[in-house]
Structure formats: structure tokens, C-alpha cells
A and B are shown apart, each in its own frame.
Chain A
């Protein structure tokens, strides 16, 4: 465009020069022409600064349209797979897509998927003020409205309890030994969990302040009035030992109880049958354990679970093991024996075994060779 303009100007200039030679052009018609300088600019001036724009924002209409398209697509998919469109769940969608578009890619997230737009598009914070521009929340101008409003509520409850205390004192019914809230077996929510609840980022000092206020609330005699509120901020710690799968106790035709369990260590795999009312015989791969494990250390590994529980001479152990070396096989057998013992032992003992490390599989494996 600039070049053509230049050419145009240059042609006018030339025309004027030529006119000046032959024909007298009236002065008023002559437009004073300034010499044109071509300016060269790079295309980066016209390119948008994509980094400065921030994360891409989607309008609500766009997301609504996507949701509509998803619902229609879901029905089409159900028809394609000859299933009922009404009862087509997300798992069915995943299964159908995996069937229709088989992919050999290792990365699961790179494979084709069809999910609800809510899960794909990032959640954007809704506009926080009304049509006139007035914010909805009264603490909007602090910047951290949810966090400060939480502190406000906690302080409100502290004041309410103090007023209650004063009332009881006036009536003469004040006692310090009121019902206390049980806090054992639970912990305060972590900073990340509170950030999730508030949908806001808070700093470490803010988190400490919140916990301090909650502790203050707990320190008051009549804190049981606000029990549900406090328990919302505490998370129950799950009992670790309940996670273990206890092998079922089986009975053979003679009525003798036995349990079967597996264990692994490095590349050794072991399988154990623990029979009750035995005399402490241990048979591995058809041979006596004295023959199979000449080294004392390995035999100690086998006996340790029984020694720990105090049932040394009670069981008959029959095991098969393969792979790896003698120490790893002993370790695998030990884990299998501990797991089999779980069905013969009480809850408290299970927890003790867990704390002794008998039920933890040793995660160490051989590290590869590096040059």
C-alpha cells in the first residue's frame, strides 16, 4: 500500500515536472507535494502480544453452546453403539470412544476423549458485582473476601460464646467442666484444603491466623455450642490398619483352619498356606526350610512374624517361591506369612504388626546400569 502510494506520488511529481516544461498549469490546481520517505517496519508491530493477554477467557454463551453440543453428541454416540441414550453414563462414553478410536499412544491424556465441557474448560470466577457496579460481598474491597468473611464469622462466634458465658455467670450457673469437643483422631484442614473450600489463595500467615482463632474458640468453656462449625474444619484421620485386605479364613475337610497369602520382594514371588493346629513345620518348594535356606538370616526372616505374634509352634507353613536370590525369596516369604497371619490375629495385633513393618512391601528394586 505504501509502495503504491509512493509510486502514485512520484508519478504526480513527474507529471508536474513534465507539465511545467510544456503546459502552464494554474497554480491553484497544483497540490504542494512533500517528498515521501518509505518507512520499513517489521510485522511484529502488528502481531498481538499473546503472552500479555493471560489465560484464554471463554464467554458464558460459548460454554453453553459447548454443553449443548456435548449433549447432542452423547445421544448420537449412544445411537451408534445401539444403547439407550437416556441411561448413557460417562463410563459408557469412555468405553465407546476407546472402542471407536483405538489409540496406541502410551500417554493416557493424549488419547481421544469426550468429556463434559465443565471438566475441559477452566473455571472462571463469576463477575462479583451487579449491573450498577456494586459488589455483592461486603468485604469485596479487601481483596480476600471469603477468607476475611470466615475470620469475621469465627470472631462472631467467639463473641456469642462470651455473651453466653456472661449470661450464665449472671444466673450463677457458670461451670468450667462443660462438654468438650473430642478432637482425637482428627486434624485441622490443611492450607490447600481451605483454599479449595474458599476458592481463594491465602498465605501461610493467613492460615496460621485462622488456626489461632479456631484454637481460641476451642479454649473457651462453652465451645461445644459451636461443635458442628468447628468440626467442619477438622478432618478425620482414617485408621491405617483398616486398609489391609485380610485373606479369608478357609477350612479344609478335616475342619482345620488355613489361610493362603502371597508376597513379593525384588523379583521373587511367594505363596504361603498357613495351617492351624500344626507343630511348626515349614516346607518350601517341597523341601524342609533347613535344607532350602542354609543361611541362618533367611530362616530368622521366616520365623520373625510368628515370633512377633507369639504363635511360634502353632502353625504349619507350606510355601512355594520362585525368582531372584535367597534373601529376596526369604523376604517374599516373610511378607506372605505376615499377610496370612492377619486372619488369625485380632485388630490391635494387626495395628502392631503394621507398625512393626511386617505388612509393608519392600519397594526397593534393582537400579539400572548407567554408563
Chain B
């Protein structure tokens, strides 16, 4: 069930640049979303469920997330401000306009596009009942992120990341634990300016990641990088607000669809 969340989503939403032969999610391999044989008695029920799950994937912006933010909002939240030119990461070059007064300026057109894609993916994951883990190691915003997670019914980890949390999960937690289906990094660096261990671990376990990458971060292992400022409180509050609204919207939509299915089935 957990595996089924992501297969359909990734097949549709991933761009053509990524090759998708066989998806293995949490150790189980699936070649198509509807591979199982269903009993005829529950056929109509499962057909309705499949319609609920598959129809949103056919639409480009099913949850209308483009109305949540404009480029002007991003500018006013100072998302375009990066670090100093000397701190610039080699791979962040394409996402930057350049530098002004020695400060790197992030291209907000690209940011808007990436953010739209990231929010869309998050919404689809939340719609299908996936577990979303919000991660950041910035102590300034730890409380904010934990509150955001609490308010949208998802999970947060803004504390010291113990070694085998993802890779050694059956021993760190209990056997049979379900790992997160999406990890959102509000800041990809930890307190000693090294890349957060969770990015590498998530890539190892095939858990997709969304990450806010600043001009001194490495965007390579992140599935949906969003170039933007991760140091200003205004910017962080905006990201938290956006993700919270996306997740709540997606979950409300799912509840609505379940209710409609219930009504149509009883009718």
C-alpha cells in the first residue's frame, strides 16, 4: 500500500530526462500500478478507488497550486537573496542570475517553476496518504517547522540525525516500521556547513526529496530542488505556509473524493 503511493505519481510527474525502468520502493518492485488481480465482488469498489487515485495524475495542476504564490510574493519574502559570491557552490551556477554587490541573486523564474513542481509533487503524495517528513537542522527555525508539521498532520525531524534512521530503520525503530514517502528539506546543510546526511540516505533508499537549496548548497542528490533563500525568517515562514497549505489542500481534496465515492456507492 505504501509502495503504491509513489509508483503512479513518479511515472507521470518525473520528466523525460529520468529513466524509469523498474521502480523499487521500500524493497518491493512494481512494474505497473494495477498489477494485482482483483476479486469480482469488490470490482466496482476498486474501480472507484482507482479512479480517485489515477484521475488527478492526468491533470497538470489538479490542486491549483499556482494560485498559492506569485513571483512578487517570492521577491517580497527575499527568496532571491543568496550567500556571498565566495560561498557559491559550483552546481548552483545555472540557478543564479549572477551577483550584485558580491551577493548571489537567485533566478526567481526558475525558482517559481521548481517550486510549482515541488508543491505539486508534495500535494500528490499527501493526496495518496503518503508520509511526509519535514527536515531542517537550522535551530532558528526548528520550532517553526515542528509546528508546521503538527498543523498539517505530518512529521518533522529538526534534531540531531542519528546514523541509521533510514538505512537501519528496523533496528532504530521497530521491525515493520513504515518509512517516509517524501522528505522535504527546508535547509540542506547541517550546522557545520556539510550536506545533511538525510539527503544521501534518502537517495540510497529511493525516497524522493524536495529541498530548498541556497547558493552554497549541492542540489545534485535532491529529486525536486527549489533554489531559494534558506536563511531569512520571512522566506522560511513563507515556505512553511506554502507547504502547509498544499498538504492541507491535498488531504481535504482526498476526503472530499472519498465522501463522493461513498455517496455514489450508496446511491
Contacts and interface: CB of A to CB of B under 8 A. Distances in A.
B4 to A, nearest CB: 12
Given A139-B146, A139-B156, A133 B2 contact: yes
Contact of A141 (B1, B157, B174): B157
A294 interface: no
Interface in B1-28: 1-2
Contacts of A134: 129, 131, 178
A142 B178 contact: no
Chain B at the A interface: SS class = loop
Given A133-B178, A152-B146, A142 B157 contact: yes
Q: Select the residue from B153, B159, B174, B177 with max chain A CB neighbours within 10 A.
A: B159
A155 B146 CA distance: 11
Contacts, number: 51
A129 B155 CA distance: 13
B133 interface: yes
Contact of B155 (A125, A141, A144): A141
A142 B160 CA distance: 8
A132 B143 contact: no
B193 to A, nearest CB: 22
A325 interface: no
Interface residues of B, number: 23
Given A134-B131, A138-B154, A148 B178 contact: no
Contact of A155 (B143, B149, B155, B172): B143
B100 interface: no
A295 B159 CA distance: 70
Given A143-B162, A143-B173, A155-B143, 11 more contacts: A129-B178, A133-B2, A135-B131, A135-B178, A138-B150, A138-B153, A138-B154, A141-B157, A141-B165, A152-B143, A159-B143
The 10 closest A-B pairs by CB, nearest first: A133-B178, A142-B159, A141-B157, A138-B150, A142-B157, A138-B149, A155-B143, A141-B155, A138-B155, A152-B146
17 contacts: A128-B174, A133-B2, A133-B177, A133-B178, A134-B129, A134-B131, A134-B178, A135-B155, A135-B177, A138-B146, A139-B155, A140-B155, A140-B173, A141-B157, A141-B180, A143-B173, A152-B143
Interface of B: 1-2, 129, 131, 133, 143, 146, 149-150, 153-157, 159, 162, 165, 172-174, 177-178, 180
